[in-house]
Structure 1
Amino acid sequence: MLKPLTFVVFGLSPTTLIGNAGTCKFRQLSSKAANIIPKTRPTREKEEFLPFSAFLTDKHGRQHNYLRISVTERCNLRCTYCMPEEGVPLTPSQKLLSAAEIVRVAKTFVQQGVDKIRFTGGEPLLRKDLPSILGQISELNLKSIGITTNGILLARLMPELKSSGVTSINVSLDTLIPKKFEKISRRPASAWFKVWKGIEMAELMGYHPLKINCVVQGGVNDDEICDFVELTKDRHLDVRFIEYMPFTGNKWDLSRMVAYKDMVEMIQSRYPNFSKLEDPVTHTSKAYKIPGHVGQVGFITSMSEHFCGGCNRLRITADGNLKVCLFGNAEISIRDALRSGISEEDLLNLIGQAVGRKHPRHAGMMNLSSMKNRPMILIDHAKFRPMTKRHVTPKRRLDNLQLTQRNIIPITAMNHYQQASGSFYNYQNHARLFQTSSSNSYSKELSHVDAQGRVKMVDVTNKQITTREAEAEALVLLSDLAFQAVVDSKLKKGDVLTIAQIAGIMGAKQTSNLIPLCHPLPISKVDVQLTLEFEQKGIRIRTLAKTTSNTGVEMEALTAALTVYDMCKAIDHQIIIKDIHLLKKSGGKTDFKFSDEK
């Protein structure tokens, strides 16, 4: 190893140059020495030959080229390990970093050597101007632009994220059991399916590997570790198990902390050839793999085996504070510096001083549990929103949990859920009778045929304009092969449930063109839900239509079933569409509700 050489740059204070294996870095001895670092970022081809920034190199020689930026404190989940049950006060919006400030901070760090930026929250996808921020960041010639999300909004925003330059996605998912998801996240179990749909969408759009972050808690979800590992068999997933970490208000308990080595033993008892991979020095995750599996597994061992020696991460909180260590309570306000009109040189000095004070390692597991630190949600995690009673899911709703058009369940989750609560529905095949608010009568005339049997269109001119709703339902029965293909979401023509939902909405809006005697209506709402019926190997379609008009929307609510047939016939034609019926209607002269009682 070469000895340190001391030299003088004209007009500057001394700087120490360290040579090692053909690379070099400058270590700052005074703040002015950083003037040798270029103010503008060179091209990627040339930067490998330049020293890393003195401002982002700490006194232990760690070079910080990875920046995590929290863009919001808000979240649509409220996970137990993330924050206290009573919630946390959110920072007023005017005290959060603006989009322009986020971009300026990012540019400053990139000019000094940062080549990887990850956006976090709260839940970053709740920030409406995030695509604009991402678009500007993508122009900085970074190696990686990442998002850490809880996945609730991911499926809907996936195309926009892709086009904005996002290169990697981490999704937080702590359980494969929807009901357990409710316990952990303090949100309805139905939200689990939105997360899974986001995972499916990200995979389809080429995010390989897609990282799944799972915080493991003893007695909560440690029994699912091997089920998560099984997901890596045929999917390009990097499932990362995170040791339960203490933050202010999350009631950390050592008895619930499952150590990395214990998790490895659990997995190896089921997969004996589960083996360690080689990790780069700056990686936080210890990588493992089962030979033959497409994906891999990682362990983030912050508590039992710290990885501080290779730490290359810095964090900017949503309110603009720089944290040089996730577990450190020391922060400096970049926001206040920016708003005071600080110069670029003074801003770099401020950052350099904070990085220079970074400790060689965090305080250790037991010390961390008693230290004051922000709740995780206010640092850079992806889970929080204040809880109110209206968010609690009634037991009846859980027992009849519906699988919406965005919900495709992995087989492991399907098995868990069926064991926990039975299948999603258990409809009996018995006689179905119609019941209206008025007594049944067979003396009424058919509305679209006159006394001579000629076709006529009903005149609704004098009918009262009211808000009218109708709900309808149909059941599409599939062969075992076609049903499994739907579950696996591998049909050649795409995602059956999503496309059928879109076609159902379009069909409802075009009903007057499809059925000649229907009136064209101003449709104000169409909602299509598709539920997988595991016992019957079918898809139950439920549609709601709404209008403010002088005639009803029953027909609009009855038009969604045939698309599923078209999507599945590529597998085989053993498909039956049955039980097409109106569930209820309201807002007209008479209300109606379907009854299955004999």
Structure 2
Amino acid sequence: MVREQLRDGHGRDIGDVRVSVTDRCNFRCQYCMPADGLPWLEREEILSFEEIGRLVGLLASMGVGSVRLTGGEPLVRRDLPRLAKLLRSTPGVEELALTTNGYLLERHAAALVGAGVDRFNVSIDSLQRDRFYALTRRDALPQVLRGLAALAALPQAHPVKVNAVGIRGFTETEAIPFARFAREHDYEVRFIEFMPLDADRSWDAGQVLTGEEIRAAIEAEHPLVPCPRERHSTARVYRFADGRGRIGFVNPVSEPFCADCNRIRLTADGRLRTCLFSLGETDLRGPLREGADDDELERIVRAAVWRKELKHRVNEPGFVQPERTMSAIGG
């Protein structure tokens, strides 16, 4: 059944949903989680694959055709390729992507591609083993790079994007090595500005190494040429002037792209969030488990999305960091 396009109260058509399949993670990245981790959701609180499939199917019938699986770390969710196959076969789902820290990618890359995952983003914040350990609190860089290579060996997986968070005092020395990495491999490296979603709540605007600062540092050594910006894209993408590779910058703090935002998020416990920085959520798990039909779920979704925030207000006085951290929301 095809339903009316999902649209918010500001006239933006919603076409993208980020689905968190778990709040658990096998890393403890400093910009996301405390060293001792966080209290995990109980198993019965997490949406089943069938529940995720039903909600994604409903959203897809309303024109939300782009689906990205996130966590926590999505690959710690058992049998994830089965969910990927279920979603990829759902009418209206046009694109299925995955964001991962790459630790389990070597084991699962082929199965995920075979299940229909179209695009992959792999988070790597340093190419130096000791610095990777310092930021993630896990000595896992060699295993992550093996997973990345296993993925790159599969033609259907491209393009592969590598995400690095831009943190002042850390990323300055990573910029040129990552630029070389992008030139030597068939990966698009993207720098993402550090956002106020850390569990320690120690974020400060002064910690944000802006995309423009990183771009300028890279361009001093490797001239860049801007690529045309795709509609709804969060990244400013450049190609190296000599044609060897691409690099991108996602600047939600210094250059918010809220006016063009077409995203909503579904948390692992079935809450609908209309912005990464939402202070409120809409429960879909409760009505789903209480027997609501698709028409009733549609009414709940449309009412929530109609109230979608105009912008995130990170740079404005009085900004309030959401209670949930990035690992609990889903990136």
What is the deviation of 1:115? 1.4
1:388-427 matches, cutoff 5 A? none
Cα distance in 2 for partners of 1:109, 1:159 equals 28
Matched, 1:181 2:132: yes
Matched, 1:83 2:33: yes
Structure 1 pair 109–66 and aligned structure 2 pair: CA distance change class (3 A): same
Contact 1:248/1:373 (8 A) holds in 2 = no
What is the percent sequence identity of the aligned residues?
Answer: 34
Number of aligned pairs? 328
Give the secondary structure class of the aligned counterpart of 1:328.
coil
Cα distance in 2 for partners of 1:281, 1:233 equals 26
What is the deviation of 1:119? 0.5
| Residues 258-289 of structure 1, C-alpha deviations (whole Å, 9 max, x = no match) | 11221121112112x21222112300111111
Aligned pair partner of 1:148 in 91, 94, 99 = 99
Cα distance in 2 for partners of 1:368, 1:110 equals 36
Contact 1:171/1:199 (8 A) holds in 2 = yes
Match of 1:171 in 2: 122
Cα distance in 2 for partners of 1:77, 1:184 equals 10
Match of 1:343 in 2: 293
Aligned pair partner of 1:378 in 321, 328, 331 = 328
TM-score normalised according to structure 2 size: 0.95
Contact 1:233/1:292 (8 A) holds in 2 = no
Give the secondary structure class of the aligned counterpart of 1:158.
helix
Matched, 1:261 2:182: no
What is the deviation of 1:236? 2.0
| Residues 94-137 of structure 1, C-alpha deviations (whole Å, 9 max, x = no match) | 01101110111111011111111110111111111312111111
- For structure 1, the 5+ residue unaligned runs are 1-39, 42-51, 382-598
Aligned pair partner of 2:142 in 193, 200, 206 = 193
Match of 1:307 in 2: 257
Match of 1:498 in 2: none
Name which structure has the greater RCO, CA cutoff 8 Å, separation 6+: 2
What is the deviation of 1:230? 1.3
TM-score normalised according to structure 1 size: 0.53
Cα distance in 1 for partners of 2:89, 2:199 equals 39
AA aligned to 2:252 is S
RMSD of equivalent CA atoms: 1.6
What is the deviation of 1:366? 5.1
Contact 1:147/1:170 (8 A) holds in 2 = yes
What is the deviation of 1:166? 0.8
Aligned pair partner of 1:208 in 132, 137, 158 = 158
Matched, 1:230 2:162: no
Contact 1:232/1:295 (8 A) holds in 2 = yes
Give the secondary structure class of the aligned counterpart of 2:183.
coil
Q: Which moved more, 1:172-181 or 1:292-301?
A: 292-301
Cα distance in 1 for partners of 2:38, 2:318 equals 20
Give the secondary structure class of the aligned counterpart of 2:215.
helix
Give the secondary structure class of the aligned counterpart of 2:110.
helix
Cα distance in 2 for partners of 1:75, 1:86 equals 12
Give the secondary structure class of the aligned counterpart of 1:270.
coil
1:470-549 matches, cutoff 5 A? none
AA aligned to 1:123 is E
Match of 1:74 in 2: 24
Give the secondary structure class of the aligned counterpart of 1:354.
helix
Cα distance in 2 for partners of 1:94, 1:84 equals 24
AA aligned to 2:75 is L
What is the deviation of 1:156? 1.0
